[in-house]
Amino acid sequence: MLFYVQMRWNIEGRMSFDEMWDYQVREQEEVGGKVNVVHMYKVAGQRRVIALIDVESADELDRIFMATLPLREYLDIEIIWALREFSGFVEDCKRHFSE
């Protein structure tokens, strides 16, 4: 399943930017090969990151955010959307969503 995930760094009064940069590098090194991140973007001028993550299920995504990420306690997960291919949606439209 493909998920859109929008996260915000919540570090005010909890860590310095230098510490956060180090955490971010460590997270990439530790998690980089374990999580199938299709694309990841830093929102310019904001403390936000947007990721497209391909995992087996919502359960797996939950495990990643609850136990895998070193920055998990400093991330506010703002939005998670399950995505589907638009071509599949169009095929359903052609059949008017009937079998």
| pLDDT higher at 31 or 80 | 80
Looking at the predicted structure, is the pLDDT value of residue 71 above 80?
A: yes
- The pTM assigned to this predicted structure is 0.86
**pLDDT tens column, 16-68:** 999 999 988 988 888 877 889 999 999 999 999 999 999 999 999 999 999 88
Q: Domains of the chain (ranges plus CATH)?
A: 2-94 (3.30.70.1060)
What contacts 83, CB < 8 A, 6 or more positions away? 1, 2, 3, 4, 52
Window from 52-56, 67-71, 81-85 with minimum mean pLDDT: 67-71
Looking at the predicted structure, is the pLDDT value of residue 76 above 80?
A: yes
**96 conformational bin, left if phi > 0, alpha if psi -120 to 50, beta if neither:** left
